[in-house]
């Protein structure tokens, strides 16, 4: 579709960067200015495509550019004469990805094929809705010293050499929602994130997903460690016959790898996803879903809402309690409903139909792009006039100078105020909202960017009362791991390893505390020997163990050996008192403790020897906490020296405040005698009393009493 009643100029020209330039179509839209006074000619190139394949189409925004040119020529009559040239290739370019590929050729053909080439009295600039190849275009801008503006969306330029800026006026674009997502992750200490992106929603969502992945990668590289781990999964909503299966597969992948999902797609797809999540019991408060609402006044499929007026509303309403929505602040949203904007929108739709053969309803109009297109010409004209007055006529031909006049300032207008930050991008205050239980279909803000504090997120209320299960935020990882496979939560405990080997290794000490718990669920029916092998690559380490509970049948024994290579050494042998208990201390709890020797791979052999045939205790015969002790200094930011154990332990273990001993106040090697552990803040309760009598229930198995231990990571296999 091309505008009616215009002349088509077909031109081509080679350029100094040796791009293969195809024949291009340049549509000239010129409003003549009559008068005897000399005026400065301003030529604006506007590359794009005309059909309504995407929200950045000139079929939507071309009339807004035209209306702004008409107004600017009226406002600055006798000073400037603006000429708008639409750069189109109806055959090759019918959507954004094709435009990105072909844009460099279109722009070069315009510049070198123009009849003003070589003239020093014509100011030239590029203003486009988006999807141009920004890296190479900015290289051309540097060569020509002209500036550019993008009004709706596109990737960020990675061109690093000095050049005029590409001023971005997209209502949100991809960069600033990305910042809001990443800031939200870091605000709540969510470090593992799952992104589900719909390939058939707006291309914007695909670009946004790529921007989030890139920002996470940049943060990790800058820190020299993993700050954010991103998993990405794609769905195709246009394949209706497989959509339910796709959503189920997405949710299963999510459940196995994360508890925080960023959902990038239309609002109707998000609604279906949350319904599927509810069926899988994944809206119980343990899972967080985040979405981005780009423009609330677009058609219903784009809006984020549970209320569709159908039979599923009540079910979806409950599921939406697990959803957080990032969107523009209420002040920004209200501007999108102003009477003046409605007048402009009506005029643009009428002109689209009349001159571009493009027909669409008000509900389908990308209104934020319409505003940005109109305001871009207004702002550019304002900057030109200001530079002419302050810096003289010659400054108008300095693209670097002109583009930097946009920075760190607000451009006021009855239509829409626009703030451009120090990077040359429009900033809109974003908020994070939730669906409060008492608000119906309305949302309530609980995180808000503060424009006066560099757009940092600030919490304005706690949402625990509205969050499923009554507590927010949920942890980054469940206590038992994403797959319920953490060793401390395995249902078999040590019982299933009698006569077998259990291997425990740590992949990365910088991401693990190197601590855990070993326990039996029930008393073995026959003598049991379990070999637990610890591995830590080439590092030399020892294992410190605190026996927290021991219940033995009278006459039975609990024996611990350590084995390195072919050498075995008896570490500890315990026998119960006449009542079957083994006495120790409380606060913190300790029956006995020991430390192995230092070395590399270590096998700890745990034996329960039966010496009589009495009644077996109902309690577990053993609960043992352990942690790694490093022989040499590790990362000083992570480790602290434990004097009693002559080695280094993780700081979080050293500072443990729960009922767990990782670094005792003193340690003396004792194989046969009872040798309970003392913590540094030890307070004696019952020095030789039986601590596991009827008044003291057993310690819960495989459960840490401190939240710090929720970060353990072990790899497990049985021999």
Please give the average per-residue pLDDT across 499-520, as a whole number: 72
pLDDT of residue 27: 53
**Mean predicted confidence (pLDDT) in 678-707:** 32
Q: What are the phi and psi torsion angles at 503 (to 5°)? A: -105, 130
DSSP secondary structure of 583-648: --BTTTTBSEEEE---BSSEEEEEEEE-----PPPSS-SEEEEEEEEESS---TTTEEEEGGGTEE
- Backbone dihedral angles phi then psi of residue 422, each to the nearest 5 degrees: -70, -15
Centre a 10 Å sphere on the Cβ of residue 124 and count the other Cβ atoms it contains: 23
| Residue 674 per-residue DSSP state | -
Select the more confidently predicted residue: 72 or 576: 72
CB of 12 closer than 8 Å to CB of 106 = no
Q: What confidence category does residue 118 fall into, taking pLDDT thresholds of 50, 70 and 90? A: low
Residue 16, pLDDT above cutoff 80: no
253-260 average pLDDT score? 95
Cβ burial, residue 181 (10 Å; 0-12/13-18/19+) = buried
Asked if pLDDT for residue 254 goes beyond 90, the answer is yes
The helix/strand/coil state of 264 is strand
Specify the range with the lowest mean pLDDT, choosing from 6-15, 362-371, 604-613, 640-649.
6-15
Of 504, 517, 532, 537, which Cα lies nearest the Cα of 634?
Answer: 537
Q: Can you list the positions of beta strands (E) in 154-227?
A: 166-168, 192-198
* pLDDT value at 106 more than 90: yes
**Residue 51 has which token pair?**
């059909």
pLDDT score of 685: 29
Cβ atoms of 157 and 281 closer than 8 Å: no
Which CATH number, 3.20.20.140, 1.10.10.60, 3.50.50.60, 3.40.50.2300, labels domain 175-293+296-329+429-470? 3.40.50.2300
pLDDT bin (cut points 50, 70, 90) of residue 520 is: confident
Which of these, 681, 698, 349, lies nearest to 549 by C-alpha position?
698
pLDDT at 61: 96
Lowest-confidence region among 65-69, 510-514, 630-634? 510-514
Q: Is the pLDDT of residue 250 over 80?
A: yes
DSSP state of 215: H
| CATH code of domain 487-718 | 2.60.120.290
Give me the pLDDT at residue 700, please. Answer: 26
What confidence category does residue 492 fall into, taking pLDDT thresholds of 50, 70 and 90? very low
Percent of the chain with pLDDT over 70: 81
CA distance 17 to 19: 6
| Lowest-confidence region among 179-183, 194-198, 364-368, 581-585 | 581-585
What confidence score (pLDDT) does residue 11 get?
37
Question: What single-letter DSSP state applies at residue 111?
Answer: H
Q: Is the dihedral of CA 365, 367, 371, 373 positive or negative?
A: negative
Specify whether the CB–CB gap between 709 and 512 falls below 8 A.
no
Mean pLDDT over 413-431 rounds to: 91
Q: What pLDDT digit, counting tens, does each position of 141-187 carry?
A: 999 999 999 998 767 788 899 999 999 998 877 888 999 999 999 99
Residue 224 burial class via C-beta count within 10 angstroms: exposed 0-12, middle 13-18, buried 19 and up: exposed
For residue 629, which of 509, 713, 548, 518 has the smallest C-alpha distance?
509
**Out of 78-87, 291-300, 408-417, which region has the weakest mean confidence (pLDDT)?**
291-300
Do the bridges between strand 515-519 and strand 557-564 make them parallel or antiparallel, or are there none, so unpaired?
Answer: unpaired
474 close to 673: Cβ distance less than 8 angstroms: no
Angle between helices 96-113 and 134-144 (to 10 degrees): 10
Give mean pLDDT, residues 513-517: 79
Strand-strand pairing, 24-30 and 80-88: antiparallel
CATH architecture of 8-171+336-404: 3-Layer(aba) Sandwich (3.40)
Q: Which two tokens stand for residue 87?
A: 């750069």
Q: Per-residue pLDDT averaged across 600-611, rounded? A: 88
- At 505 the pLDDT is 67
Find residue 122's DSSP bridge partners.
41
Q: Which of 166-170, 242-246, 474-478, 669-673 has the lowest mean pLDDT?
A: 669-673
* Distance between CA atoms of residues 517 and 675, nearest Å: 19
In angstroms, rounded to a whole number, what is the distance separating the alpha carbons of residues 136 and 96?
16
Please check the confidence at residue 706 and state whether its pLDDT lies above 70: no
Q: Across residues 468-476, what is the average pLDDT?
A: 90
Joined tokens for residue 644: 């009693």
Question: pLDDT at residue 328 above 80?
Answer: yes
pLDDT, one tens digit per residue, over 526-574 is: 889 999 988 887 789 999 999 988 888 878 889 999 998 888 999 999 8
* CA 436 and chain centroid, separation: 23
At 611 the pLDDT is: 66
| pLDDT on residue 553 | 82
Q: For position 556, what pLDDT does the model report? A: 87
Model pTM score: 0.62
Q: Return the closest-CA partner of residue 205 out of 214, 196, 192, 194.
A: 196
**Do 8-171+336-404 and 175-293+296-329+429-470 have matching folds?**
yes
Write phi, then psi, for 624 (nearest 5 degrees): -135, 125
pLDDT for residue 377 is more than 90: yes
Length of the chain equals 719
Which of the four pLDDT bands, split at 50, 70 and 90, describes residue 576? confident
Give the Cα separation of 263 and 197 in Å (integer): 6
What value does the mean pLDDT take over residues 418-434? 92
pLDDT tens for 435-460 read 887 766 678 899 999 888 888 999 99
Name the residue ranges covered by the structural domains of the chain. Answer: 8-171+336-404, 175-293+296-329+429-470, 487-718
Strand duo 501-505 + 715-718: pairing:
antiparallel
Please state the rounded mean pLDDT for residues 300-307: 67
């Amino acid at each position: 579709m091309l505008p009616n009643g215009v002349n088509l100029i077909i031109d081509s020209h080679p350029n100094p960067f040796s791009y293969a330039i195809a024949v291009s179509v340049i549509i000239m839209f010129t409003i003549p200015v009559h008068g005897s006074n000399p005026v400065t000619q301003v030529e604006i190139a506007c590359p794009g495509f005309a059909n309504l394949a995407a929200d950045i189409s000139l079929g939507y925004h071309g009339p807004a550019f035209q209306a702004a040119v008409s107004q600017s020529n009226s406002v600055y009559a006798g000073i400037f004469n603006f000429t708008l040239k639409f750069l189109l290739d109806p055959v090759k370019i019918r959507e954004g990805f094709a435009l990105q590929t072909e844009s460099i050729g279109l722009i070069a053909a315009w510049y070198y094929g123009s009849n003003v080439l070589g003239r020093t009295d014509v100011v030239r600039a590029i203003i486009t809705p988006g999807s141009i190849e920004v890296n190479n275009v900015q290289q051309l801008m540097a060569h020509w010293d002209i500036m550019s503006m993008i009004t709706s969306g596109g990737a960020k330029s990675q061109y690093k050499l000095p050049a005029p800026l590409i001023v971005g006026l997209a209502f949100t674009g991809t960069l600033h929602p990305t910042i809001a997502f990443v800031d939200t992750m870091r605000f709540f200490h969510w470090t593992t994130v799952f992104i589900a992106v719909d390939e058939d929603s707006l291309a914007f969502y695909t670009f946004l997903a790529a921007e989030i992945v890139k920002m996470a990668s940049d943060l990790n590289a800058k820190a020299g460690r993993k700050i954010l781990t991103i998993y990405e999964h794609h769905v195709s909503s246009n394949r209706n016959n497989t959509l339910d299966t796709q959503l189920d597969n997405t949710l299963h992948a999510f459940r196995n790898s994360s508890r925080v999902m960023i959902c990038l797609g239309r609002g109707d797809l998000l609604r279906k996803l949350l319904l599927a999540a509810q069926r899988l019991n994944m809206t119980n408060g343990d899972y967080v879903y985040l979405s981005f609402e780009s423009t609330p006044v677009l058609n219903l499929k784009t809006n984020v809402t549970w209320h569709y007026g159908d039979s599923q509303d009540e079910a979806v309403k409950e599921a939406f309690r697990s959803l957080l929505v990032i969107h523009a602040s209420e002040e920004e949203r209200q501007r999108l409903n102003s009477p003046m904007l409605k007048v402009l929108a009506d005029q643009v739709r009428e002109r689209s139909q009349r001159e571009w053969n493009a027909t669409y309803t008000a509900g389908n109009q990308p209104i934020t792009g319409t505003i940005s297109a109109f305001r871009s010409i207004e702002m550019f004209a304002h900057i030109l006039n200001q530079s002419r007055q302050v810096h003289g006529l010659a400054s108008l031909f300095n693209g670097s100078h002109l583009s930097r006049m946009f920075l760190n300032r607000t451009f006021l207008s009855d239509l829409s105020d626009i703030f451009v930050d120090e990077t040359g991008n429009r900033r809109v205050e974003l908020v994070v909202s939730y669906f409060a239980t008492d608000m119906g279909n309305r949302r309530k803000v609980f995180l808000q960017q503060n424009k006066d504090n560099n757009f940092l997120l600030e919490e304005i209320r706690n949402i625990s009362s509205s969050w499923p299960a009554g507590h927010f935020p949920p942890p980054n990882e469940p206590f038992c791991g994403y797959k319920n496979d953490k060793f401390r939560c395995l249902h078999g405990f040590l019982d299933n390893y009698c006569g077998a080997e259990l291997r425990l290794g740590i992949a990365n000490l910088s991401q693990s505390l190197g601590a855990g718990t070993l326990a039996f669920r029930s008393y073995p029916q026959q003598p049991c020997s379990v070999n637990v092998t610890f591995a830590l690559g080439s590092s030399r380490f020892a294992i410190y163990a605190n026996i927290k509970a021991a219940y033995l049948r009278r006459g039975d024994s609990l024996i611990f050996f350590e084995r390195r290579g072919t050498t075995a050494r008896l570490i500890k042998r315990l026998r119960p008192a006449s009542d079957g208990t083994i006495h120790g201390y409380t606060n913190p709890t300790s029956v006995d403790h020991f430390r192995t020797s230092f070395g590399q791979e270590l096998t700890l052999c745990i034996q329960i020897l039966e010496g009589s045939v009495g009644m077996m205790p109902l309690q577990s015969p053993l609960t043992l906490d352990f942690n790694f002790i490093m022989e040499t200094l590790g990362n000083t930011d992570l480790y602290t020296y434990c004097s009693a154990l002559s080695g280094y332990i993780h700081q979080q273990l050293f500072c443990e405040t729960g009922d767990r001993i990782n670094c005792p106040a003193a340690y003396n090697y004792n194989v046969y005698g009872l040798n309970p552990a003392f913590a540094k803040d030890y307070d004696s309760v019952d020095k030789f009393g039986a601590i596991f009598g009827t008044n003291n229930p057993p310690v819960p198995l495989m459960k840490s009493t401190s939240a710090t231990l929720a970060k353990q990571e072990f790899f497990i296999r049985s021999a």
